[in-house]
Amino acid sequence: MTYRPKHHLTAPQGRLNDPNGLTLVGDQLHVFYQHDPSFPLQPKRTGWGHAVTTLGSGEWRHFPMALYPDHPYDLNGCYSGSAVLDGDSLRLFYTGNLKRDGQRLTSQNIVDVHDIAGPMGGTYRRRVNNPVIDGAPEGFTAHFRDPHVSRSADGTWRMAIGAQRTNHTGAVVLYTSADLDQWELAGALEFSGLNYNTASAYMWECPNLLRMKDQATGEELEVFVFCPQYPDSDECGYVVGTLDGTRFNVRTDFTPLDYGHQFYAPQLLPHGAGALALGWMGLPARDDTPSLAEEGWVHSLTLVRELVLIDGYLRTSLAIPKQPDMLVATHELAGAPWSAELVDVDGAVGAELAWQPQVGGRGVITLTVDGIARWAECAAGQLVLCADGAAVECTAGGGEVAFSAAVFSPGAAQWGELRVR
């Protein structure tokens, strides 16, 4: 018996966190991730792990670490970033973290990747002119990280970087480029119509800025996914709107991307009518889990998710493997209250689900783990639950809402059923 899931990506050992650099080559999805293989036995030195899956298979193959913090500008960590496949050229963008004389120094750097489909998962060469962006612009602290690169409406490239202003409020700073090599500061995005609570977070990290077509209206809109941080919580969600220069006109205010107990730092990759996405099923500085103590690893990523934009909101579906080796359960939520328990093969309860219908064909779905409840309002319709080792995910309301949670069964027993009460 093991806590390790079969279809959710985990590190072979040590600590995993943010997914990075999603790259799709044919049907092969390459996923990089923040990885500290010596955690917790040695001081933190985070690099980029690397694994690949064939879409639909749910099986992962690991490669050697792609990046390790061993250059003068990243000695204290190769932090999060993204990837761009432009023709046959693959580039990684990441934040170098350096601590010197008690000060944090951050930089944005480029890595050229060759032969990613090869038997060792590619070769990785940092640019000799790194850093391409050295430090933060005036008005921002050294909490300046997680570059996400995408195309703008006019075809030029843009880099969104999570930031903190010197007044300790969160921001995202935009750079632009014609060739992916030389980057010019455009400025901080200014949001019109964003709620005060989100705007006042002390840091915005792990940004994703991409264009998506609304499948209901046909309109091309900007979707900005990010993680606002607060003194007592770390959140993850998105806004939808239009971008005029550096002015973001918000139409859909901040909405959680996942309502569960453990979900953070997702990365999105444009695909088909929407995007593929994976999130980290963990939270910052919360690593005390049975899997670490008993098996030497901590945290997983979500299943691959498929996101589409409908009427200004993202809808989520779980990419369940064609031959799943995990518990998959469904239920049609309707006009009557419903509740169920996730139980293991020994009958122990790991989580509870409850549905309370309201007027207008909608209701409230609640997921409770270890006595802590998370809830969201959504439409009636199909609920889908996947329980895979310590990784539990569900969607409801036709993908209106999603939940992720790390759930540890007693003795790492396998999950048996979703038992209706």
Catalytic residues: 18
DSSP letters of 326-378?
SEEEEEEE-SS-EEEEEEETTS-EEEEEEEEE-GGGEEEEEEEETTEEEEEEE
Taking alpha carbons only, the member of 274, 255, 257 closest to residue 265 is: 257
Residue 58's alpha-carbon distances to 34, 94, 244, in angstroms, are 20, 27, 40
Query: CA 99 to CA 78: how far, in whole Å?
Result: 12
Q: Report residue 108 as tokens.
A: 């944005």
Query: CA 351 to CA 371: how far, in whole Å?
Result: 9
Q: Report residue 30 as tokens.
A: 């390459």
Residue 119's alpha-carbon distances to 35, 68, 159, 201, in angstroms, are 21, 19, 31, 44
**Is residue 203 within 8 Å of residue 236, measured between CB atoms?**
no
First-to-last alpha carbon distance for the chain, in angstroms, is 27
Residue 294 DSSP symbol: H
**Is residue 262 within 8 Å of residue 281, measured between CB atoms?**
yes
**Is residue 91 within 8 Å of residue 83, measured between CB atoms?**
yes
Query: CA 144 to CA 266: how far, in whole Å?
Result: 18
Q: Report residue 95 as tokens.
A: 């934040």
Q: What phi, psi does 16 have (nearest 5°)?
A: -110, 140
All residues at 6 or more sequence positions from 129 whose CB lies less than 8 Å from its CB, including other chains = none
**Is residue 112 within 8 Å of residue 77, measured between CB atoms?**
no
CA torsion 308→310→314→317, rounded to 10°? -50
Query: CA 241 to CA 246: how far, in whole Å?
Result: 12
